[in-house]
Amino acid sequence: MTTGQPGTGSARPTPTGDARIRPAIPAAAGTPTPAARAATASDNTTAAAGTDHAVSGDGTRASIVTNDGTKAATARDDDPKPGSTKHDGPEPGSAGNSAVEDSAAEDSAAEDSAAEDSAAEDSAAEDSAAEDSKAKPGAATGGAEKDGAVKDRAGKDGAEKDSAAEGDPAESGDAAKGGKAGEPDGPVKVDGEAKSAGSERWEAFASAPEPVPSRLSRSARAVGRYLIHEWTLASLGALALAVLMTWPTLRYPRYTLPQDYWDPSLQAWQMAWSGHILLTEPARLWQSNTFFPELWSFAFSDTLLGYAPAGMLGSGPEDAVLRYNIMFVLAHALATLGAYALARQLGAGRIGAAVAGVAYTYAPWLLAQAGHLHVLSNGGIPLALAMLARGHGWSLRHGYRPERRHDGWVYAGWLVAAWQLSLGFGIGLPFAYFLACAVLVAAVLFYARRLRTGQALPFGRRLLVADVVGGLLFAGVGLLMAIPYFRVTELHPYAERTIGDISIFSPPASGFVTAPAESRIWGGLHEGARAALPWHPEMTLLPGFVLYALAAGGLFFSVWRLRHRLLLLAGVLLTMAFAMGTRFFDGAFTYVPLFEHAPGWNALRTPGRLMLWTTLLLALLAAGAVTALTERVRELAAQRIPSWPGPWLRLATLLPLLLVTVEGLNTTPHPVVPTQPAALRTVEGPLLVLPSNQSLDQHVMLWSTSGFPDVVNGGSGFTPRQLDDVRRVTQSFPDQTSVDYLRTFGVRTVVLLRGQVAGTPWEITIDAPVDLLGITRQEIDGAVVYRL
């Protein structure tokens, strides 16, 4: 351990770049003042290695400040003489060149400034050379510092101590050149820019620097982060589940259709027609090639116009069937993802949101709608609501949070809502009324709060513009879609529904606990209950007993607030009452007022499809309960000692998801689509295919996707009287009356299918001669082609 002169503190080097000024500590009574101690300091050089002088950081002078703020005498080493054999070199930590002297002058100026400000500080300047040795700060007692032993990298009490004691001329020469006395690692630049040899030697043991990733590596990492993102996994999971739950839809996607081959054939034609005509002659969109020569025939039923981009790919019946099956699976996936997104936005956890998505998409009552793609294509409803809620910064669990507003999500929500409306008014019209009511209620609540509190919640001009523009877009799409239907009503007033029609399809209360025959779990057990229903395909409205149980539990144990639970319950009961049509007090307080006064509502003949909203509200109640359960289980698992039961407890939270999935299993048939007759690939239109009826004409519509010739046949929600007349007159075809009648419509070809004439009048007349009728007859692969 080094010791200083009597009455002086051990001097230690301090970094020049970070020179710190230490306040002087007043001397205690009876102790020598700093000035007195400085007066007794020796001017002799160090007699032995490790003996320090009271020097400043530059090795030239240690400035001592008395208690009254004046400078006292300081001890100063003799300046080194070039070539002198006397050890006049700088103390350890000092330097012997002009740069160091300039640094010392600067330090002295700093000390004078500190003294004038009555700081009574003792500063030490750092030697400009990079130090490899480190000094431990000592505690100042009575105004004197006690420095720790200086640890040298080359070893304790090394050779430089001996050299310092003997006044080695070589050392003096090194010091005169700016080298550090006692530095075993060689001279170092005063400005500290260069590293010593010792530090370079120890760098070999340092960890290797982090490699800079290449552009390819960064791209791969970004893709990896995207692939494991929640919404990527949710989308892939929804798609995989849709493939499994609708199997074997994609087993033979070009040859089979789910449920039956009547309505699916019609809807496959609808997608094909919209895609074809928008590419070739968009102005003729509503004047389809079927029901010739009727006008606005594309508006005789829901159009699935939103799937027109898919209809632009491929041609012919097989591609139309393939397209339908793909969209059938994607519709299920979108419904699951949309309900999941809505539940997450409202504040549910991942498992709770997954339960909501699966329960909403695979509710048992929807299995009876497997042949109605326009009903199954409902995923845009919850997805649009989720986007709108996110854009407005609102959730059911956390309320309105203005800082989370984002007008981009508002635009996206209105676009998705408009797309959903373009798929058909069957479920789009109630959605439009719901959005209108939601906007009205939100505006009333907003201004009511402003009047009550005198302060308006922040909303923002950009958000208001987004709502106005998005709402106008949605209304514009609805209006453009509605115009053809109003024209159809004008041309065919008998197509309007009546209260009697609504009564035929109105389900009783027992329908809410009755499953359709396609349910794998409940179908066989509910066979007797279905037999008691007048029209069971539209009256078996069971959303799932598991969903009922979870929703009931959500009324008592949930993450939603009590008032929100009660509102959800009220919505469930209200939508059930509307879904019953005229069976709930004759509909006098529910369905009938809407039917009579709400524009477009009289076109909805199946009230039971409003069960879609009941299912969504039940799913949200269930999501609240499952989320509360998972959060409670997570807390319990964290408190378990030992913690090994934790994973098993968390695994148990997947049980509700498993149960709603199992309850959604189906036995939906997938019949083979009738093969297109070879004659229909080559004949020219306008043409009539016999026999003609509602079911067979839907096949003809599908077959007409080869070139889309004009055909008299057609199937829809209603039958035009003109088509009824054609079917009646052609019962005796071929004869002069029927031939003349068809010529008045411009029909050029009649195709009589041999495989369909059994039990019909054509069974007798199919081989009758036609020479006297002025027409020709040709056999083409099982069909008889008459050219008029």
Q: What is the DSSP annotation of 191-252?
A: TS-SPPHHHHHHGGGSPPPPPPPPHHHHHHHHHHHHHTSHHHHHHHHHHHHHHHHTTTTTTS
Predicted local distance difference test score (pLDDT) of residue 329: 97
What's the mean pLDDT when you consider all of the chain? 79
Q: What is the DSSP string of 765-779?
A: HTT---GGGT-EEEE
Of the ranges 228-242, 344-358, 474-488, 751-765, which one carries the lowest mean pLDDT score? 751-765
Helix and strand numbers, DSSP H then E, in the chain: 28, 10
Residues 387, 383: Cα–Cα separation, whole Å = 6
More confident residue, 613 or 91: 613
> Hey, how many other C-beta atoms are within 10 angstroms of the C-beta on 42?
14
Predicted local distance difference test score (pLDDT) of residue 658: 96
C-alpha neighbours within 13 Å on the C-beta side of residue 429: 22
More confident residue, 634 or 76: 634
Predicted local distance difference test score (pLDDT) of residue 180: 40
The percent helix, strand, coil of the chain (3-state, each to 5) is 55, 5, 40
pLDDT over 50 (residue 589):
yes
Predicted local distance difference test score (pLDDT) of residue 198: 60
| C-alpha dihedral sign at 638, 644, 650, 656 | negative
pLDDT band of 89, cuts 50, 70, 90: very low
Predicted local distance difference test score (pLDDT) of residue 498: 87
pLDDT band of 199, cuts 50, 70, 90: low
Q: What is the DSSP string of 72-94?
A: ----BPPPPPTT--S--PPPTT-
Q: Are strands 749-753 and 687-690 parallel, antiparallel or unpaired?
A: parallel
Number of residues in the chain: 788
C-alpha neighbours within 13 Å on the C-beta side of residue 163: 20
pLDDT band of 446, cuts 50, 70, 90: confident
* Token pair recorded at residue 645: 């039961």
Whether 267 and 373 have beta carbons less than 8 Å apart is answered as: yes
Give the list of residues 6+ apart from residue 81 with CB closer than 8 angstroms, or none. Answer: 88
Predicted local distance difference test score (pLDDT) of residue 62: 41
Of the ranges 158-162, 202-206, 345-349, which one carries the lowest mean pLDDT score? 158-162
Predicted local distance difference test score (pLDDT) of residue 644: 58
Token pair 């170092």 is at which residue? 188
Displacement of CA 102 from its chain's centroid (Å): 64
pLDDT digits (tens, 9 = 90+) for 610-646: 999 999 999 999 999 999 999 988 888 777 666 555 6
Of the ranges 26-35, 545-554, 591-600, 739-748, which one carries the lowest mean pLDDT score? 26-35
Predicted local distance difference test score (pLDDT) of residue 223: 87
Bridge partner list, 689: 751
Rounded percentage of the chain residues whose pLDDT exceeds 70: 73
Predicted local distance difference test score (pLDDT) of residue 641: 67
Whether 602 and 497 have beta carbons less than 8 Å apart is answered as: yes
Token pair 């477009």 is at which residue? 600
Residue-wise burial string across 670-699, b where 16 or more C-beta atoms lie within 10 A, e elsewhere: beebbebbebbeebebbbbbbbbeeebbbb
Residues 331-345, mean pLDDT to the nearest whole number = 97
* Token pair recorded at residue 239: 């798609």
pLDDT digits (tens, 9 = 90+) for 360-391: 999 999 999 999 999 999 999 999 999 999 99
* Token pair recorded at residue 242: 């849709």
Predicted local distance difference test score (pLDDT) of residue 197: 60
Bridge partner list, 519: 666
Output the pTM of the full model. Answer: 0.74
* Token pair recorded at residue 86: 């006397």
Predicted local distance difference test score (pLDDT) of residue 67: 40
Predicted local distance difference test score (pLDDT) of residue 700: 95
Which one, of 204, 170, 165, lies nearest residue 186 by Cα? 170
Rounded percentage of the chain residues whose pLDDT exceeds 90: 57
Residue-wise burial string across 402-411, b where 16 or more C-beta atoms lie within 10 A, e elsewhere: eeebbbebbb
pLDDT band of 340, cuts 50, 70, 90: very high
Residues 303, 617: Cα–Cα separation, whole Å = 27
pLDDT over 90 (residue 71):
no
Predicted local distance difference test score (pLDDT) of residue 128: 38
